[in-house]
Amino acid sequence: MLAPIPALADYGISPDHGFLPPEPPLEALPDPYYAKWEWIASNLQSLLHSGRMRDVVNSLPILQTRYLHSEDEWRRAYVVLTFMLHGYVWGGKTPEERIPPQLTIPLLEVCNHLELPPVLTYAAVCLWNYKPIFPDEPAYDLDNLASINALTGSLDERWFYLTSVAIEARGGPAIPLLLQAISAARVGNSRVVTECLQNVAETLDQIGVLLERMYEHCDPYVFYHRIRPYLAGSKNMADAGLPNGLLYDDGSEEPEYRQYGGGSNAQSSLIQFFDIALGIKHRPTGEARPVSTPSKDEKEGVAGAPRHGFIQEMRTYMPGPHRRFLEHVSAVANIREYVEARRSDKALCLAYDACLVMLRAMRDKHIQMVSRYIIVPSRDARSRAPETSSTRRPSLAMNLANVRPGSKKLRGTGGTALIPFLKQARDETGEPAIDAWARRLLSNGPAEPSFAALSKLGEHPDGHLEVVGLAGTWTADDTEGGICHW
């Protein structure tokens, strides 16, 4: 018996706004008991600039979470505490590895409730950290959005977050459309499947347009040197001064060191949802496309073993309900197999291939963005490193993205010696194409030959690898780099 089609309400997902909350996030916790937390969150820039962030946090009382009632309040507490956490860790000349009980105890309780790790995730900086300027205007209008909290306070940082918020809002209505297509495929209604896929292709095209708006107000230099360091995780960050990760002091006799990757757009449930629903399979980097046909279970939409360690790892950084929703969709996805079995239906095949074309085009645009925001600034930083190291005090950015002596590799702030597999993810997006012309189109390289070639390091043949973050670790070899994985 086939699994039921997931109901969005069961996973807290909005048919209009997708993985964004149905109502705009809280701008502050309503109970005055948490006023000291909110004061720090609203004064992050001043506290970091003055170097007093750690002193203020250390002077806090240990506040309890029993006055958090609604899910909105738990989410707001998570945003406030994780912003405080990253300000505390990275807001000094050297990173601080010990997290005091004033932060650790309430943060771990909040994370346990929300099923999230104690680190600044995509959910904290994007999904639950925005407000519409005019509530009656759409949330996918970037000119109608403002972020609630930011570490640097710069327009560049806020725009970086808000571009993703707008993409989430614009892509939200595509979620029920693809679920409707899955349902229609079960009963053989090709007309409905075709119409749904046509609408999804248009939505993906609009998402690509929104992605390109990143350039309007987020300067690559500011992102690389000012914003990215504060978003760093604690995994494999020995070069930055965190050889063991972070020590979360919960007041026990033996507090634990923990390591987490930094925030990443790979933690967006929306992009993974598109891949799952459209039947796009991602393999460990360097692994060739198999020639065998899908198994019987795969054809019937039964979820098999995870194929890609990085993608599965990123799901642990998603809110619990969103993670379970993706697992449910994996068990019912049937669109690719349905279209492959009806190659004579030209309208259906064209609509499906159009979705792949638009999603691949978005990934092409992202590769361009990675080149501009990471590869070029990292090369500039390397070329100036010998001169600046002897004439000026190392900045926070240089502490977190340094070059080992005798090595060409630039270690970034996400905590690992790898980058996301942008090129392979893009190429895999076109593999399910049905029409011969579409397959030729989607098998070509990027539209512009000047794109920097990207590859991911450190992934093993079985798909296991370390976690990379939005402020991830990149190699600075001539052909490698990355911001985040889409």
Task: Name 281's bridge partners.
Answer: none
Q: Are the C-beta atoms of residues 224 and 230 closer than 8 Å to each other? A: no
∠ at Cα 140 (266, 361), nearest 5°? 50
Phi, psi of 167 (to 5 degrees): -65, -45
Residues 6+ apart with CB under 8 A from 386: none
Task: Name 334's bridge partners.
Answer: none
Q: In this structure, what DSSP letter does residue 218 have?
A: -
CA dihedral 340, 343, 349, 350 (to 10 degrees): 150
Q: Which H/E stretch holds residue 384?
A: helix 376-391
Structure tokens given for 437: 């012309």
Q: Are the C-beta atoms of residues 20 and 139 closer than 8 Å to each other? A: yes
SS3 content of the chain, % helix, strand, coil (to 5): 50, 5, 45
Annotated binding residue 49: no
Place of tokens 């039964």: 302
The Cα 239–Cα 342 span in angstroms is 54
Q: Are the C-beta atoms of residues 213 and 142 closer than 8 Å to each other? A: yes
Q: What is the per-residue DSSP string for 71-118?
A: HHHHHHHHHHHHHHHHHHHHSSSS---EEPHHHHHHHHHHHHHHT--S
The Cα 468–Cα 449 span in angstroms is 27
∠ at Cα 374 (368, 379), nearest 5°? 115
| Helices and strands (H and E) in the chain: how many | 21, 7
The Cα 73–Cα 264 span in angstroms is 23
User: Residues marked as binding?
Assistant: 366
User: Residues marked as binding for heme b?
Assistant: 366
